[in-house]
Amino acid sequence: QSKTPSKMDNMFQNYSHSEIARDTATIKNSVIMHLTATFLRTPMSMDSGHAYLASAFSVRDRLLQRWNLTNEFHDRMKAKRVYYMSLEFLIGRTFDNALLALDLREEYSKALGDVGFCLEDIIDEERDAALGNGGLGRLAACYVDSMACQDYPGWGYGLRYKYGMFQQQIINGYQVEAPDCWLDSPNPWEFPRPDVTYPVKFYGHLERDPSSEHRYIWKSDVVYDAMAFDVPVPGYGTTNVGNIRLWSCKTNSLFDLNKFNSGDYHGATGGQVAAQILTDVLYPNDNTNEGKELRLRQEYLFCSATMQDIIARFKKTGRPMRDLPDLAAIQLNDTHPTLGVPELMRILIDEEELTWDEAWEITTRTFAFTNHTILPEAMEKWPVPMLDKILPRHMGIMYDINLFFLQSVEKQFPGDRDLLRRISIIEESNPQQVRMAFLACVGSHKVNGVAAIHSDIIKQTIFKDFVRIQGEDKFINKTNGVSPRRWMNECNPDMSSLLTEVVGDRSWVNDLAKTKKLEERVTDQDFRQRWWDAKQANKKRLADYILTTTGIRVNPNALFDVQVKRIHEYKRQLMNILSVIYRYHCLKQMTPEDRAKELHRVVVFAGKAASGYWVAKQVIKLINSVAEVVNADEEIGDVLKVVFIPDYSVTAAEYIIPASDISQHISTAGTEASGTSNMKFVLNGGIILGTVDGANIEIGEEIGEEQIFFFGCLAHEVEDFRHYLRFHQPKPDDALQTAFDMIQRNTFGDAAIFQPLIDSILRGGDVYLLSVDFPSYIQAHKAVEDAYRNREEWITKSILSVARMSKFSSDRSIQEYAEEVWNIEPVRVNSCNMSI
Ligand code: GPU
C-alpha cells in the first residue's frame, strides 16, 4: 500500500534533502562528537585508532542518510530489485572507498590534519571485511558496487561471519592459520537490525496438511533466529547507496528460561552456543566442496532468511504472488545458495497456498544461476540422508522437482534411460546425492558462465544434456568485471591523476570507455615519462610494504613479477617456483660479468591455501625455502629476489597490483573459469604472462596480442595430454629436470619434504600438465625479458593496455545482467523525483 504524503513524509523529505554540510568545521565537529559521545574519549586522549573510528562513524552518518533515501525511494517507485545471493562478500576496507564516493577525501584529510592526524595512517587502522575466499567473493563485492554506482535497485545477501577468512602467518616457511577476529573492535560499516529477524527451522518431521493434498506442515525440532545487519555500499557519482544484508544467527532467543529458573544458569544458554556456530566462521575453501553438515545448515539458514525477507518485502506491495518475478530477480552466485529454490517452493506452496505449477512458474522466472568452475572437486553434492534429516520438507520438494523434470524429459526423448540417469538431480550413488548444479540449472531461467571460453565449456560438458533439453538460449555468457572505483581510483592515485588529466575530468571512474583517450597520448614523451614514474612510485610503495611485512629489501628498479591468488594446483604456483629455481641455477652458472648484465627481477608470491589442502601448503613451504636460499646468496644479490608476502587480502592486493610489471595467470588451459585479478593488473598498467584460459583470452582480444604474453597448450588439447600421461611417465625437458635436480640435491633444505610435489608431476599423472607447458613457459619468460629491456616498447604496451580495458569494468557486466537476465532498470534518486 503506498502511503499518502503526510506530515511525517514531508519531515523525512526535508531531512533527506538537507545533506550534512561538507565544510571542514562541520566535519571536525562531527568527528569530535563521535569521539566523545560514541566512544567516550576526549580529543586529548585520541589515538589514531579512535581517530579512525570517530571519522568512520561521521562518514557513516552521511551514508545512512542517503541509504534511507535510496530505499524509501525504490519502495515508493515499486522498482524491480535484483538480489545477489552469495555466501561470500570479500569487501575489504570501506572508509577510503566511502570518502571517495562522497567526494569528501580532501575535506576529511584537512579536518584530521587540523587535529594532528594523517589521513593515510588513519585509513590503515581499518580491518578488512574478509567474508570471502577469493575471486568469487570479490566479484560479489564489485557487483554490488557497480549496482550502486549505476543506480540499479539491487541488494547483496550474505552471511555475517564472526570470523572471516583466516589470517595467514608464515612460520618456518609453513602456513599457520590464525582466526580473523574482525569484529573485536566496533564495525562502523554495519547497521544492526534486530527488528529484521526471521525464524529458521531445522530437523523434525512432516505432517500432511488436511486441507490440501500437496501441502505439508513441517514440525521442526530446532528453530534458530537469523538477524539482519545492513552494510551500506556507497555509490560513486550518485547519491544512491546500495546495501548488503548479512544474516547473523541470533543467540538470545534460545535462552532456556526453565533451566535458568531452576538454577542451571550455564545450561540455560546451552542453545545459544549451538545457534551461534552457524554464522561463526567462513569455510576457507576455494574451488573445493567440503561437504560438512555444518556447512549445509549454514547454507540453509542463509537461504531461508533471505527468501523470507524477499517475500516479506514483496508482500508490502500488495501485489499477488504471481507478480513476484516482476518485482524481484534473484541471482545465485554459484550453487552455494541453491537451497533458495526449494525454500521458495516451500513458502509458496505450504504457506502461500499456491499450487505446485503456479509455484514452479514463479520460482523459475525469479531465479538465475551463475556457474564459476568446472573443477570436479568443487561440484556441490549433498547426501540425501543428510538432507532428509535436516530439511525433510525440502528433500521432498527436491524429489518432486526431479520427478517432474525427468517426466518431461522422458516425454521429449522417450526411452533414453541413460539420458535420464545422466541428468537426474538425484545421483544414484550409495548413498544417493543431490547434484546442486543440476538443481540450480533446472530451477533457473538463465544459466551463465563467467568468461566466453568458460561459458562454451560448460555447454559442452556439465550442461551438455541440459542445452539439448532446455534450449541454447538459456545458457549464456557474462564475462566478469572489476570495479574501477576500487581497482584504479582508490588503489592507484598517481595513475588515476593521469587518467583524469587525459580525460579532462573524473568521469572515467564511472565510464571506463573514456580511457580510450589515452591512445592519443601514447606518443607524448612527457606523458610517457610520467606514466613510467607513476609505476615506479607504486613499486617503491610495494617495496616498503614488502620490507615491513617480510623484512626483505627489494630494489624498486627491478622487474616486478607477480603471482598473487589462492594457492591451488590448477593455478600452478608450483610451475612458477620451479621456473624460479631454474633461473637461479642459470644465474649460478654464469660468470659475475655475465650475471651483472642480467635483468634484475623480484618474484612476488602471495596467497592462502585452504587449511585442509596439504599439497597447496607444501607449495608455500617450497616457495619460502627457495626464497630463503636465493635471497641470502650474495653472489646473486639484487639480480633475483623471491618474496612470499604473508596474509594476502583485498588490502594487500591494493598495494601489490598497481606495482606489477608482469603478473602471472598460468592455469592449465580450461581450468580457470575467468580470473579477475588478471583484469585488475592490466587495468593498472601491468602486462600479463598467461595461458590461453579464462578471461586472459578476451583481455588479449581487447588490448591486442602484442600487449600480452601467451604460452602453453590450448584447452581442446588438454584431454589428450591427460590421457597420454595417465599411461606414460612425463618426460621433463632439461630446464624442468634441472629444477628437480636442485631440489633433490637438498639445495632448499631436506628434499624429502618436496618429493611429493615432484611426484605429483612424475608419478601422479601430471594432471595440470606442468611438464607439457614448461618449455613454452620458459620461452615466454625470455620474451618478457626482451620486451622489458626495451623500455619505450614496454611503456607503449602499458598505456595501450589501460586504454583498451573498458570491457572489463564490472559496470559493463552488471549492465548485461540487468538487461539480459534480470530485466531491471536504473532508478536514480534525486530531489525532483523524490516528491512524486
Ligand atoms: N571461484 Br567455484 C572462486 O573464487 N571460488 C569458488 O569457490 C569458485 C570459483 C572463482 C573462479 O575460480 C575464478 O576463475 C573466477 O574468476 C571467480 O570465481 C569469479 O567468477
- Report the distance separating Cα 427 and Cα 431, nearest Å: 9
What the block records as the C-alpha cell of 221 is 525440532
Distance (Å, rounded) from C-alpha 571 to C-alpha 144? Answer: 27
What is the rounded CA–CA span in Å between residue 689 and residue 68? Answer: 46
What one-character-per-residue DSSP string does 490-537 give?
Answer: IT-HHHHHHHHHHHSSGGGGT-GGGGGGGGGGTT-HHHHHHHHHHHHH
286 in contact with ligand 1, CB cutoff 6 A: yes
Q: pLDDT digit string (tens) for 81-99? A: 999 999 999 999 999 999 9
**How far apart (Å, rounded) are the C-alpha atoms in residues 716 and 392?**
43
Contact, 566 vs 607, CB < 8 A?
Answer: yes
Residue 546 CA to residue 656 CA, distance in Å, equals: 9
Report CA(676)–ligand 1 centroid distance (Å).
9
- Reading across the β-sheet that carries 433-435, which strands appear in turn? 381-383, 433-435, 426-427
Which residue type does 10 have? N
Angle at 7 between CA 5 and CA 13, to 5 degrees: 75
Residue 259's pLDDT band, with cuts at 50, 70 and 90, is confident
Per-residue model confidence (pLDDT) at position 269: 67
Q: From the CA of 378, how far away is ligand 1's center (Å)?
A: 10
Residues 220, 204 contacting (CB under 8 angstroms)? yes
Note if 731 is an active site residue.
no
Structural contact between residues 726 and 708, judged by C-beta atoms closer than 8 angstroms: no
Ligand 1 centroid, distance to 809 Cα (angstroms): 17
Annotated catalytic residue 288: no
| N- to C-terminal Cα separation, the chain | 15
Q: What is the residue type of 708? A: I
316 annotated active-site: no
75 alpha carbon to ligand 1 midpoint, in Å?
Answer: 33
394 catalytic? Reply is no
119 lines ligand 1 (CB under 6 A): no
Pairing of strands 89-92, 129-131: antiparallel
The rounded distance, in Å, linking the Cα atoms of 533 and 576 is 28
Mean pLDDT, residues 388-412 taken together: 98
d(CA 207, CA 219): 7
Chain position carrying cell 652458472: 589
| CA neighbours closer than 13 Å in the CB half-sphere of residue 825 | 5
Over the stretch 745-789, which tens digit does the pLDDT of each residue have? 999 999 999 999 999 999 999 999 999 999 999 999 999 999 999
Catalytic entry in 366, 676, 691, 747: 676
Residue nearest to atom 13 of ligand 1 (CA): 675
Q: Please tell me whether residue 27 adopts helix, strand or coil conformation.
A: helix
ipTM over 0.85: yes
Tens digit of each residue's pLDDT (9 = 90 or more) over 439-454: 999 999 999 999 999 9
Beta bridge partners of 595: none
What single string gives the DSSP state of each residue in 258-310? HHHHTT-HHHHTHHHHHHHHTTTB----SS-----HHHHHHHHHHHHHHHHHH
Is the confidence at residue 836, as pLDDT, over 50?
no
- Tell me what pLDDT residue 195 has: 97
Q: What is the DSSP string of 669-686?
A: TT--S--SHHHHHHHTT-
Encoded amino acid at 152, one letter? Y
The pLDDT value recorded for residue 256 is 67
> How large is the average pLDDT for residues 386-403?
98
Q: Would you state the pLDDT for residue 75?
A: 94
Grid cell 544467527 in the structure block, residue: 249
pLDDT tens profile 313-339: 999 999 999 999 999 999 999 999 999
pLDDT score of 360: 98
Mean pLDDT across the chain: 95
**Distance (Å, whole) CA 242 – CA 235:** 7
Go through the domains of the chain in sequence order and give each one's CATH number. Answer: 77-93+128-354+367-374+820-834 (3.40.50.2000), 484-808 (3.40.50.2000)
Which tens digits make up the pLDDT trace of 609-646? 999 999 999 999 999 999 999 999 999 999 999 999 99
In Å, how far are 147, 150, 240 from 234, measured between CA atoms?
10, 11, 7
Q: 411: burial class by Cβ within 10 Å (0-12, 13-18, 19+)?
A: exposed
Distance 241 CA to ligand 1 centre (A): 27
* pLDDT for 792 beyond 80: yes
* Cα–Cα distance, 433 to 426 (Å, whole number): 6
Choose, from 486, 506, 571, 807, the residue flagged as catalytic: 571
Q: Which atom of ligand 1 is nearest to the CA of 135?
A: 4
Pocket lining: 372 vs ligand 1, CB cutoff 6 Å: yes
212 confidence band (pLDDT: 50, 70, 90): confident
Residue with grid cell 595512517, as numbered in its chain: 121
The pLDDT confidence band at residue 835, using thresholds 50, 70 and 90, is very low
User: Is the predicted pLDDT of residue 830 greater than 80, yes or no?
Assistant: no
CB under 8 Å to 23, separation ≥6 — which residues? 107
- CA-based diameter of the chain, in Å? 91
Measured in angstroms, how far is the CA atom of residue 473 from the centroid of ligand 1?
24
- DSSP per position, 107-142: HHHHHHHHTT--HHHHHTTPPPEEES-SHHHHHHHH
Which of 373, 450, 566, 665 best tests ligand 1's pocket when mutated (most atoms within 8 Å of CB)?
Answer: 373
Q: How confident is the model at residue 426 (pLDDT cuts 50, 70, 90)?
A: very high
For residue 247, the cross-strand partners are 159, 228
pLDDT tens digit sequence for 468-480: 999 999 999 999 9
Q: Which three cell numbers stand for residue 72?
A: 524509501
680 in catalytic set: yes
579: which 3 cell numbers?
621456473
Contact 329, 823 (CB under 8 A): yes
Backbone dihedral angles phi then psi of residue 228, each to the nearest 5 degrees: -85, 145
d(CA 149, CA 135): 21
pLDDT at 813 over 90: yes
- Report, in angstroms and rounded to the nearest whole number, the Rg of the chain calculated over CA atoms: 28
Active site residue 279: no
Show Cβ contacts of residue 421 under 8 Å, excluding neighbours closer than 6 positions: 428
* Residues in contact with 313: Cβ distance below 8 Å, sequence separation at least 6, in sequence order: none
And the C-alpha cell for 578? Answer: 620451479
In sequence order, which residues have a C-beta less than 8 Å from that of residue 14 and are 6 or more positions away? none
Average pLDDT over residues 389-415: 98
> Taking a C-beta distance cutoff of 8 angstroms, is the pair 324, 426 a contact?
no
Q: Are strands 601-606 and 328-333 parallel, antiparallel or unpaired?
A: unpaired
Counting from 1 in the atom list of ligand 1, the atom nearest the Cα of 695 is 16
Instruction: Tell which residue, 242, 188, 182, has the closest CA to residue 57.
Output: 188
Give the pLDDT score at 1: 41
pLDDT digits (tens, 9 = 90+) for 666-680: 999 999 999 999 999
Within a 10 A sphere around the Cβ of 548, how many other Cβ atoms?
7
Q: In a 10 Å sphere around its CB, with 0-12 CB exposed, 13-18 middle and 19+ buried, how is residue 591 labelled? A: exposed
Distance CA 24, CA 22 (A): 7
The model's pTM is: 0.97
* C-alpha to C-alpha distance for 307 and 338, rounded to whole angstroms: 11
* Percent of the chain whose predicted confidence (pLDDT) is above 70: 95
Which string of DSSP letters, residue by residue, matches 326-348? Answer: HHEEEEEESSTTTTHHHHHHHII
Query: Ligand 1: which of 286, 331, 379, 480 to mutate, judged by most atoms within 8 Å of the beta carbon?
Result: 286
Tell me what pLDDT residue 251 has: 62
pLDDT digits (tens, 9 = 90+) for 117-129: 999 999 999 999 9
Query: Could you give the C-alpha distances from 686 to 65, 139, 420, 683, 787, in angstroms and in order?
Result: 39, 20, 49, 7, 13
pLDDT tens digit sequence for 139-181:
999 999 999 999 999 999 999 999 999 999 999 999 999 999 9
Cell digits of residue 287? 574451488
